[in-house]
A and B are shown apart, each in its own frame.
Chain A
Amino acid sequence: MSDSDFAIRMKGVTKIFGDSPQTALDMLRSGKSKTEVQAETNHVVGLDNVSLDIARGQIFVVMGLSGSGKSTLIRHVNRLIDPTAGEIFVEGSDVLKMSLPDLRTYRRNTVAMVFQKFGLLPHRSVIDNVAYGLEVKGVGKAERLERAAKWIETVGLSGYEQSQPRQLSGGQQQRVGLARALALDTDIILMDEAFSALDPLIRSGMQDQLMELQKSLGKTILFITHDFDEALKIADRIAVLKDGAVQQEGKPEDIVLKPANEHIEEFVREVNKARAIHVRTIMERGEFEPCEYTVPSNARCEDVLPYFAEHQWVGVTNDEGTQIGRVTAKRVIRALARYTPGANEG
């Protein structure tokens, strides 16, 4: 596939922080590890040969612990950080070849970003914050305020237009951040740990809202998080990052069911697998006698668990409502128990 078939395409992107990154890059290429490079040259490897293909219209989550390079990664997409080596294509155009004016046009029209610490302008009201991107683009005052008001309503902050950001709670402030990014009407939205600073309940509400928005607007969302549960909940695809390198990339259930290495297994052990695994990935396809209870194929294991109190199996239907297979209690238990500590030995 060509570069323009993907929303975002990164090829062999490497970032080394330090005074002479090329020397460190050569060492890294010759096979030395991140720790060795750091010990010998005092250069920090931020990203190590990262290649990602992100298709349009999906929520792509990059998951990693602090220091894994995930925030560095997302900043390469809109070139807040320049890579040491590699190529980045967004909607088919080479981001690294852009001149400064081109880069500004690109940031104004193609990628918008939401930040962990919100990054709101404290001296401007909510509506002026939301309209900020439009103002930068040169949209007239009446039009930008009208568009900003619409997005404020979409994120559920009507009535707060004239408030100052500091008068809002963390969740509300991040809604302003989200509305500000949405107001630019870009195809791609970058979210850097956007919900990490929020309380769990508010975070969950924001996740639901983001998924709904994505469904109705069809945006490509690159989402960074350190929270595996969050990744499993919202992601169409997940890439797990460690020490600046991609460890595994795939659908959420692929990662839960077939973790590529020890590091990812550790994450998997801690999560609620019943939420991560869709019934379609573990069901038996084929003709079975119609069952009293059925669930759609995009249901998750946690949705079918209650039925097993009464039944041995539950039917699975496709989008039209036709039964296409079934899922048994045994299969669900096998999927959930697979990677619990001790159970996967031998």
Chain B
Amino acid sequence: MTAELLGTAAKMGLWLVALLSVVPIMVWVERRGSALIQDRRGPNRVGPLGLFQALADAAKFLFKEDIVPAAADRPLYLLAPVLALVPALTTFVVIPFGPDVEVGGRTVRLIVANADTGVLLLLALASLGVYSLVMAGYSSNNKYSLLGSVRASAQMISYELALTLSVVAVLVPVGSLRLDDVVRAQQGGLLDWHVFPQAIGFLVFVVAAFAETNRLPFDLPEAESELVGGYHTEYSSMKFALFFMGEYMSMTTLSALGATLYLGGWHLPGIPFPDHWLGAALTGFGILMAKVAAFMLFFVWVRWSFPRFRFDQLMRLGWKVLLPLALLNLVLVAALTVGGWL
């Protein structure tokens, strides 16, 4: 019992360290990446290559004045940034990150919670993320914030459908909700990765992931050129930083989900995993993180390459393009599975 608890704590610790260190790394990647794309230099003064810029930013956030607007709905206003971290810090529990290893004579599964409901649990927890945005906008008592929240709620609901349907299509041939089994189904070779038979589903998943994490070209809830800062207009100091961290962590989790569903998860063809060897755990985690990093770079690349959608365009894309595509993909995959080709 105690050993089990310790093991779970260790696994969660590994994830937490990864998730929390993603934020400063991504701040650097985003700022230097945008500079590269826009033919600028970017922040290059603090530390080698400007690597410590994120630390300077963090210190700045800590020392900024923390303002609560007089007209704000205080309890909700204070709760919203905290809630922004809840889905970000809980959804990783169902993502597997390595083969079984043996520690001190017992087999340990490299997944925090191998629940039967698996990916459903992840989707359920992630679907609660919208409350933070809605609460923030409503409680700020500011028309720009409110508009941002109204947009966020409509956008998240619309794209959640397409996202969930594309995930369901992956689960059909696997026949299980556990992400563990999803990874196992992709271990044959490169062509067993779900991204190949389910290219349509992968496309829908990636586009919907951009909308679910409020990243450009779908960052309408903040849309700084029209809504000042959208739902977080009135937030300053660490409270703003929490929204910021929540966004990057949600990107990480969705990237990990995408890598697990479509790109073979912690597994890479050609790299052997001697069973029950502790180093395999780190190798698996490293491979998963490399795939996550590829996703994250893509997020950054797209952000600085595309203009923002208009809200009606966003809704049209979600309901009239992505949803039918996701349904088509689901029907195709189901037919192929019944026919025995998948």
Q: Do A and B come from one complex?
A: no
